[in-house]
Amino acid sequence: MASTRSRGSREPLLSVVVSPYVVSISLIGDEAAFLMQYHRETKSVYSAVVSRGREERIDDEDVARAGRILARLMSLIAKATKSRYYSYTGPLQVEERRLVFRPYISPTSTARIYIEGPRIAADAGDAFRKRIRAKTDVENALRVILNKVRKGSDEARLEEG
């Protein structure tokens, strides 16, 4: 039996996949999801918010840059913690002044990534602590996607009713 998230859950899940061939970012809401995949060999990118029977293609350079920044950060964390995984998934907590991503980096441990504007602070215990300042406002790019995912969720619910 597949596990599903509680309908009452308000925290979306953010997943960052960094493999030798594909970089993928997914932001999963209750009824809609943002998907961005970059294939390293072909250099092709697919980016869209999808929900039941709907697809809204996203062609936003800030969103693409934010995805690349998160993927690079997760690669650094994985290397520092000697993680054997390609996929890092966890809740994305939306606060008034920042976003907090808590991805699992192993079956028993998580990292904490605080995103405030272009500033990112990452903490994976004693193995990795880093502060970076990106040229791109990563928080704003993620909030744009969050709003589109929520809008897609609202439209899916309207169609059901």
pLDDT attached to residue 155: 56
Tokens of 108: 């028993």
Say if residue 121's pLDDT is above 60.
yes
Q: Residue 38: pLDDT band by 50, 70, 90 thresholds? A: very high
pLDDT attached to residue 84: 85
Task: Identify any residues that bridge with 109 across adjacent strands, giving them in sequence order.
Answer: 106
Handedness of CA 16, 65, 145, 139 (dihedral sign): positive
Tokens of 13: 């899940």
How many whole angstroms separate alpha carbon 123 and alpha carbon 76?
A: 11
Beta strands in 71-144 (DSSP E): 87-94, 99-101, 104-106, 109-110, 112-116, 119-123, 129-133
Query: Where are the domains positioned within the chain?
Result: 13-160
pLDDT digits (tens, 9 = 90+) for 64-94: 999 999 999 999 999 999 988 889 999 999 9
Say if residue 137's pLDDT is above 70.
yes
